[in-house]
Amino acid sequence: MSHFIRNCIYQGKNLFREGSYTFWVILYPIILATFFYAAFGGMMDPSFEDLKVGVEENSGITHVLEEIDFINIYEVSKDELVQKFENDEIDAFVDDNLNLTVNKSGINQTIIKEVVEQIKQTIKLNRPIDGSEFSVSYVLGRDQESNSLTVIFYSLIAMVSTYGVFAGVETASLIQANLSNIAIRINSTPLKKQNFLIAGVMVSLLLNLFANAALLLFINYILKIHLFNNIKYSTIIILLGNLFGVILGIFIGVSNKKSSTKTLMAIAITLLLSFFSGMMGPWIKVMIDKHVPFLSRVNPISIMSNNLYRINFLGSTKSLGEGVIILIGYCIMLLFASYLFLRRKSYDSI
C-alpha cells in the first residue's frame, strides 16, 4: 500500500510540475472559458428564466404552467390587463380557452406562444398534461441561439473532463520500454508494470478532477454562470468523462511510438470532438444534429455536453442511460485495446 502511495505522490509531482501539462489542463480551459464568455456572452438571454405570464384568477391552466420552470404566473383580471402590459409586469396573457394576448412581439412572446401551442396539441391528442414535458420539447425544438453560451460551456466542460488524456499519454510512455528511456530503468526494477499504471491512472484522474473543479468554480463564481442544477448526474457524467480521457490517453500513448506527435494527437482528437459537439459555436451542432444525428449520439464529448445540458437545463434524464452505456463501452474498448499493447513485457526493439 505504501508503495502505491509513494508511486502516486512521485508520479503526481512529476506530472503536476510539467509546464505544458499545467497549461493545457488548468490554464487553457480557464482561458477558453473567459474567451467564450467575452465572445459569445451577448447571446445569453438573461430574461429567459423568468417569463411573466398573466392568467385569470382560479384559471384551469395555472397548474400546467406552474410546472414549467421558466414561467412565472401572475393572476390578472381582464380590467388590469392593459396597464400590466404597459408596465411590463407581464409578457403575455393566457385565458382559460388558451387564447394568447400579447402587446408586442419578442423572444419571450414567441416562447410563450410555442408553449401554449403545445399545450393545445396535447389536449387535442387527449394526452395527460405534464408541464415539464413542454419545456423539454420546447427548448429542444427551438432554435438554440439564445442559449448558445450554455451549450458552449457544457461542451467546454465536457472537453476538459477528458483532458486526463495528457496524463494518460505521459503515464503510458513512462512505463513502456520501447517508448522512453526512463521506462527501461523502471522495467529493470521489481516494480510491477500494472502497479505503476494504476497509480498513474489514479493520479491522472485526481489531477484532472482538480482541474475540472477549478474551472467549474471559475465559471460559477467569477463568470457567474450557473450551470448545474442536478449535481448528482452531472458528477456522474464528468467522472465518466475523466475516465474516458485518461484511458484514451493511455491508448494513444501505448499505440504510438513518437512522443511529440502524441500530445498533438490528443489535443487534435479532443478539440475535434468538442468542435463537433458545438464548442466553437452551436451552429455546427445544429447542423450535425440535422444531417448526421448519429454522429452526436456517438461522439463522446457530444454525449457528455448534451447530457449535461439536458440534465441541468431541461431537467431531463431521458438520454442519460444511453450516454452512460456508450461512454462505458468506449472505456472498455480502449482499455482492452491498450491492454493488447501493454501486456507485452519485452520488446523486439527498444
Partner 1 sequence: MKEMIVKVKNVVKRYSEKLALDHFNMEVKEGEILGLLGPNGCGKTTAINCILSLLNFDKGEIQLFGQKMTPNSYDIKRQIGLVPQEVSVFENLTVRENIDYFCGLYVDDKNTRRRYVDEAIEFVGLKDYVKYYPKKLSGGLKRRLNIACGIVHKPKLIFLDEPTVAVDAQSRNFILEGIRKLNQEGSTIIYTTHYLEEAEMLCSRIIIMDNGKDLVSGTTEELKAMITTSEKIVVSFLSLEDEMIDSMHKIPHVVDIEKKGEDLIIKFENGNNNLSNLISFITEHKLTYRKLYSQLPTLNDVFLELTGRELRD
Using CB under 8 A as the criterion, which residues of the chain lie in contact with partner 1 when the complex forms?
Answer: 2-3, 6, 10, 13-18, 177, 180-182, 184-185, 187-192, 345-350
The cell for 326 is 456508450
Nearest to 278 by CA among 135, 150, 166: 150
Burial class of residue 125, CB neighbours in 10 A (0-12, 13-18, 19+): exposed
Nearest to 89 by CA among 106, 72, 70, 105: 72
Q: Decide which of ligand ATP, partner 1, none touches 105; Cβ closer than 5 to 8 Å per partner kind.
A: none
Report the residue number, 62 or 259, with the smaller CB distance to ligand ATP.
259
> Per-residue x/- marks for ligand ATP, 291-330, CB under 6 A?
----------------------------------------
Q: Decide which of ligand ATP, partner 1, none touches 346; Cβ closer than 5 to 8 Å per partner kind.
A: partner 1
Report the residue number, 332 or 350, with the smaller CB distance to ligand ATP.
350
Q: Decide which of partner 1, ligand ATP, none touches 18; Cβ closer than 5 to 8 Å per partner kind.
A: partner 1
What span, in angstroms and rounded, lies between the C-alpha atoms of 329 and 326? 5
What span, in angstroms and rounded, lies between the C-alpha atoms of 203 and 168? 10
What span, in angstroms and rounded, lies between the C-alpha atoms of 192 and 198? 10
Coil, strand or helix: which one is 73?
A: strand
Number of amino acids touching ligand ATP (CB under 6 A): 2
Q: Decide which of ligand ATP, partner 1, none touches 260; Cβ closer than 5 to 8 Å per partner kind.
A: none
> Per-residue x/- marks for ligand ATP, 61-90, CB under 6 A?
------------------------------
What span, in angstroms and rounded, lies between the C-alpha atoms of 134 and 331? 35
51-55/92-94 β-pairing = parallel
Dihedral sign from CA coordinates of 312, 317, 318, 319? positive
What span, in angstroms and rounded, lies between the C-alpha atoms of 262 and 255? 9
Q: Can residue 58 be called a binding residue for ligand ATP (CB under 6 A)? A: no
In one letter, which amino acid is 192? K
Q: Decide which of ligand ATP, partner 1, none touches 319; Cβ closer than 5 to 8 Å per partner kind.
A: none
Q: Can residue 181 be called a binding residue for ligand ATP (CB under 6 A)? A: no
**Contact between 281 and 202 (Cβ < 8 Å):** no
Smallest distance from the beta carbon of 347 to partner 1, in angstroms?
6
What span, in angstroms and rounded, lies between the C-alpha atoms of 281 and 161? 19
Report the residue number, 86 or 348, with the smaller CB distance to ligand ATP.
348
Q: Decide which of partner 1, ligand ATP, none touches 226; Cβ closer than 5 to 8 Å per partner kind.
A: none
Choice from 58, 126, 189, 349 touching ligand ATP (CB under 6 A): 349
Report the residue number, 105 or 346, with the smaller CB distance to partner 1.
346
Q: Can residue 346 be called a binding residue for ligand ATP (CB under 6 A)? A: no
Coil, strand or helix: which one is 76?
A: coil
Q: Decide which of partner 1, ligand ATP, none touches 78; Cβ closer than 5 to 8 Å per partner kind.
A: none
Smallest distance from the beta carbon of 185 to partner 1, in angstroms?
4
Binding site for ligand ATP (CB under 6 A): 349-350
